Structure 1
Amino acid sequence: MTQHASPPRDSADTLAPAGRTPAWRGLWARADVRTLSLLGVLAALVVIGGVTKPDEFLDTRNLQLVLTQASVIGVVTVGMTFVITSGGIDLSVGAIVALASVWATTVATQEYGFGGILFTAVLVGLGCGLVNGLLIAYGGMVPFIATLAMLASARGLALQITDGRTQIVTVDGVLSLGERDSYVLGVPPLVLVFALVTILGWLVLNRTTFGRRTVAVGGNAEAARLAGIDVRRQRLYLYLLSGLCCGIAAFLLIVLSGSGQNTNGNLYELDAIAAAIIGGTLLSGGRGTITGSVLGVLIFTTITNIFALNNLQSDVQQIAKGAIIVAAVLVQRRTASTT
């Protein structure tokens, strides 16, 4: 009796009972729906901006401004996405940006020119990330407490360095990056840096062992440890990465504002966490999406721009952001319950 060989199937399909959709396809479908939903929200905001203030909002310079402003908090959000995906949190990112920006704009630092400012900003960010990582990974401190302590310490040190004054940047090489002559095909250099950080972040999270370990630690740290992952070292690396992103963001902010202030980065931690959450990153860890986080940043930045152009009160803007965050968390809970 002749037997007919069944056609080859994907290995994931063989794990799924007959008549049921494989789990990975369901996850992919939900991720795609989230991305499309965020794109829909962003498109709706663009329409609202175009209808309410067509001449101002759709002007090329305004769109460049939106992207430029999104670049600073966007770089911070990329680092935050990695930390949250691992099941951690970093409340100190805004304070680290402030400290890095004022340390990099002191008179002594500016004497070393462009390289000195960039190097100092990145080094301070890495240093703060190292302290956070050591306290959490090897000191056994809860991420909330450790990063809260860093928030207070970094803000205090930034205030001490500046004595409450604004430090003006006098290095032409830094200031020129914020001028229109430095735009590449109409794209500001800050946006190009943001795009590069986003691409690298996506590749690391989705295409490397480091990214898979990050997701594993966030999903179940004990299981990850039993699988041979050095959980403590992984967490140390993640907070170093977050600090690095803060250092880069501090340099971008210096270029954007032409100064260093102890008030820089105010509430960046909340904006970064909110952008990551509405983008689809689970606050409990185990799932993260760089694409969603970037779309979240663009949504919040566009909302801010629309409110500013229409002369609306900032309190209404905060209420709108809060409503978006609540809606995103409710959607996440519903998605998780159907998984």
Structure 2
Amino acid sequence: MTRANVPPAKETARAGHPADPDDVAGPTRPGRFSVSRLPRHNLGLVGVLAALGVIGVLTAPTFLSAGNLLTILTSASIIGVLTVGATFVIIGGGIDLSVGKVMALASVWATTVATQSYGPVVMVFCALVVGVGAGLVNGLLISYGRIVPFIVTLAMLISAQGLAERISGKRSQIVTDPVIAGIASTRLLGIPLLVYIFAVVVALGWVLLNRTTFGRRTFAIGGNPEAARLAGIDVRRHTAALYAVSGLCCGIAAIMIASLTTTGSSTHGTLYELDAIAAVIIGGTLLSGGRGTLIGSILGVLVFTTITNLFVLNNLETEVQNIAKGAIIVAAVLVQRRTRAT
């Protein structure tokens, strides 16, 4: 084999970086991993949901009622949309701590008196532009400014919080537009419209991640950025695009939470970033990047939402919920380490 035909991973090894069989250089590795390991992990999460269902039936008679199940799905919808964006970023080797407050900022901007005076289309447009804009700022500073993602997104979290408070005067802004306000109360075939929006975002995200070049490049960059660069991928531009995707999800979630609460507020999204990241980890995505599935992340959202619902039905304190969530996150990371070592 001539030097020109050496695969990127092997070329990296010749340059002084040992080739790792787990390194991702294109679509081959993600496909192998998703077929051999991730479905088993997803099946395990389904088993956890089934176990939670049994616990729910035994401890709360109303757990399996149609109303309660729809409550779980509705609660999972907003966090779930944020989790879709977080999954792309983490698979690509990054992290985004700002999603909760970017969502809050987008909800505030979309519900000012000036914005609402132009109608629902402008409100949606403003929310999406604010989300994508904040995501692009994150992505450009990380990829071209070469600043650590943790620092950039933490700074964005603080800045978005401050800007949202400045715009709203630390007051909740009431949604007066009937179209936006009616999104959360509208039902199709008995299912809230918010759940359909969530399902559409998940479906589009799955196609983008698993059936397009964009998705394959995301896995490649998360698995081995240097190998991806040698393979001809513009790592910096793609990284910026990943954070823009996360910002877009924040904009969508902003409209959803504004409709659900009928307000735009700087208090929206508090700790949502931790819930989204935790769901991604529970879903089997490696924090180091390169491996993961969107379906696993959504199952992680459902696990957390179901646990919260069980705690509420059984009148358990919020503190106990947080302790349980923390223990689940630690257990998931330990399982990841053992799985990767085998």
The TM-score with structure 2 as length reference comes to 0.89
Amino acid at match of 1:318: N
Amino acid at match of 1:66: I
Contact conserved, 2:30 with 2:290, CA < 8 A, in 1? no
Could you tell me which residue of structure 2 aligns to residue 47 of structure 1?
Answer: 54
SS in structure 1 opposite 2:45? helix
SS in structure 2 opposite 1:36? helix
Equivalent position to 1:271, from 275, 297, 308: 275
For residues 27 and 161 of structure 1, the distance between their equivalents in structure 2, rounded to whole angstroms, comes to 44
For residues 112 and 328 of structure 1, the distance between their equivalents in structure 2, rounded to whole angstroms, comes to 46
Amino acid at match of 2:201: V
Could you tell me which residue of structure 2 aligns to residue 234 of structure 1?
Answer: 238
List, as ranges, runs of 4+ consecutive aligned residues in structure 1 with deviation greater than 3 Å.
Answer: 22-27
| Structure 2 residue 17 is matched with structure 1 residue 36 | no
For residues 154 and 182 of structure 2, the distance between their equivalents in structure 1, rounded to whole angstroms, comes to 35
Equivalent position to 1:306, from 305, 310, 332: 310
Equivalent position to 1:112, from 111, 114, 118: 118
CA deviations 1:247-281 (Å, max 9, x no partner) are: 00111101111101101001011111100001010
For residues 284 and 33 of structure 2, the distance between their equivalents in structure 1, rounded to whole angstroms, comes to 15
Change in Cα spacing, 1:109 to 1:46, as seen in structure 2 (3 Å) is: same
| Structure 2 residue 96 is matched with structure 1 residue 90 | yes
For residues 23 and 156 of structure 1, the distance between their equivalents in structure 2, rounded to whole angstroms, comes to 39
Equivalent position to 2:321, from 302, 305, 317: 317
Amino acid at match of 1:123: V
Amino acid at match of 1:202: W
For residues 246 and 188 of structure 1, the distance between their equivalents in structure 2, rounded to whole angstroms, comes to 20
Q: How many residues align?
A: 314
SS in structure 1 opposite 2:188? coil
For residues 99 and 183 of structure 2, the distance between their equivalents in structure 1, rounded to whole angstroms, comes to 24
For residues 106 and 321 of structure 2, the distance between their equivalents in structure 1, rounded to whole angstroms, comes to 28
Could you tell me which residue of structure 2 aligns to residue 261 of structure 1?
Answer: 265
Change in Cα spacing, 1:25 to 1:86, as seen in structure 2 (3 Å) is: closer
User: Unpaired segments of 5 or more residues in structure 1?
Assistant: 1-21
Amino acid at match of 2:156: M
Change in Cα spacing, 1:107 to 1:27, as seen in structure 2 (3 Å) is: closer
Equivalent position to 2:253, from 241, 249, 267: 249
CA deviations 1:271-307 (Å, max 9, x no partner) are: 1110000101000001121000000001111111111
> Displacement, 1:23?
11
Change in Cα spacing, 1:25 to 1:122, as seen in structure 2 (3 Å) is: closer
CA deviations 1:109-150 (Å, max 9, x no partner) are: 111121121111111001101111110111111111111110
Change in Cα spacing, 1:336 to 1:95, as seen in structure 2 (3 Å) is: same
| Structure 2 residue 135 is matched with structure 1 residue 156 | no
Change in Cα spacing, 1:144 to 1:60, as seen in structure 2 (3 Å) is: same
> Displacement, 1:175?
1.6
For residues 157 and 222 of structure 2, the distance between their equivalents in structure 1, rounded to whole angstroms, comes to 23
Aligned sequence identity (%): 64
> Displacement, 1:74?
0.3
> Displacement, 1:210?
0.4
For residues 242 and 30 of structure 2, the distance between their equivalents in structure 1, rounded to whole angstroms, comes to 28
The TM-score with structure 1 as length reference comes to 0.90
SS in structure 2 opposite 1:58? coil
Deviates more, 1:42-51 or 1:240-249: 42-51
Contact conserved, 2:33 with 2:291, CA < 8 A, in 1? no
Q: CA RMSD, aligned part only?
A: 1.4
Contact conserved, 1:82 with 1:288, CA < 8 A, in 2? no
1:1-339 pair list within 5 angstroms: 28-55=35-62, 57-179=63-185, 182-338=186-342
Change in Cα spacing, 1:206 to 1:119, as seen in structure 2 (3 Å) is: same
For residues 120 and 32 of structure 1, the distance between their equivalents in structure 2, rounded to whole angstroms, comes to 38
CA deviations 1:5-24 (Å, max 9, x no partner) are: xxxxxxxxxxxxxxxxx997
> Displacement, 1:155?
0.3
> Displacement, 1:28?
2.1
User: Unpaired segments of 5 or more residues in structure 2?
Assistant: 1-28
Change in Cα spacing, 1:114 to 1:23, as seen in structure 2 (3 Å) is: closer
For residues 52 and 161 of structure 1, the distance between their equivalents in structure 2, rounded to whole angstroms, comes to 45
Could you tell me which residue of structure 1 aligns to residue 16 of structure 2?
Answer: none
> Displacement, 1:230?
0.2
SS in structure 1 opposite 2:287? coil
Deviates more, 1:23-32 or 1:137-146: 23-32
